[in-house]
Amino acid sequence: MEAEKPTTFVLVHGAWHGPWCWERVSEHLIARGHEVVCPSLPCDNAEAGQDEYLAVLEAALRGRSGVVLVAHSMSGMVAPLATGNPAVSSLILLAALVRKPGSSLTDDGAAPLAEPLQKAVARAVVDESGRVVLDPADATDVLYHDCAPADAADAVRQLRPSANTVGAQTCPALPERRVPTTYVSCRADRAVNCDWNAARARELLAAEVREIDGGHSPFWSAPEEFAALLVELA
């Protein structure tokens, strides 16, 4: 069997998460000879917006080439803005939120989110900084419902407060440079309305759409299978 060409994957987490959420997928990618970079977005800092998020992505891309940029959930709002960097060879949007240039995600109302997450956010605590703190039971049900209970608990205990700063900001024009883009839609997603966001990704980014079984976090519920999918799509 022909050996896989080594690829650099930059894996970008979503709201409430951090680089830790990619550790299971990273093990499989590294074992297959690939490089993995997992930047940490400042989603727990309500004063950090798209400029700060993009600075983190640019730092992760610096000095690299042929990068497959993978953005989960909230990070889908900023990852397309990084494709102007020549280091990016392709973009994979996993159950991602997609903004339209000239408007904010907030302008789209509830449409981009699945109903269970809408309800969970409505019940969530908003701290003194304006960050949303999900109830652990809601986080389990919305983000990790298809995981074994111990695995779900392990993930939920690592979640952090998250601000919607980027979601309230107007999306700038997309880079003129375009790269092949795939939107990975999760059929049992309880957080993101994947059909709605995939349609927008098709419209704005000419994205191909790939549907997979399972919920919002396949990097945790099925890491080996998801790693294989990333290699296939790279």
Listed residue (168, 169, 163, 167) closest to 129, CA to CA = 163
Q: Residue 107 domain-assigned?
A: yes
Q: Residue 1 domain-assigned?
A: no
Q: Residue 144 domain-assigned?
A: yes
Look at residue 172 in the predicted model and tell me its pLDDT.
97
Q: Residue 215 domain-assigned?
A: yes
Q: Burial letters for 20-51: b for 16+ Cβ neighbours within 10 Å, e otherwise? A: ebbebbbebbeeeebebbbbebebbebebbbe
Q: Residue 3 domain-assigned?
A: no
Which domain does 112 fall in, by range? 8-233
Q: Residue 169 domain-assigned?
A: yes
pLDDT tens digits for the chain (234 residues)? Answer: 356 789 999 999 999 999 999 999 999 999 999 999 999 999 999 999 999 999 999 999 999 999 999 999 999 999 999 999 999 999 999 999 999 999 999 999 999 999 999 999 999 999 999 999 999 999 999 999 999 999 999 999 999 999 999 999 999 999 999 999 999 999 999 999 999 999 999 999 999 999 999 999 999 999 999 999 999 999
Q: Residue 2 domain-assigned?
A: no
Q: Burial letters for 106-133: b for 16+ Cβ neighbours within 10 Å, e otherwise? A: eebeeebbbebbeebbeebeeeeeebbe
Structural domains of the chain, count: 1
C-alpha distances in angstroms, 145 versus 132, 142, 215? 20, 6, 7
Q: Residue 37 domain-assigned?
A: yes
Q: In CATH, what number is assigned to the domain containing residue 225?
A: 3.40.50.1820
Spatial distance between the Cα atoms of 113 and 111, rounded to a whole number of angstroms? 6
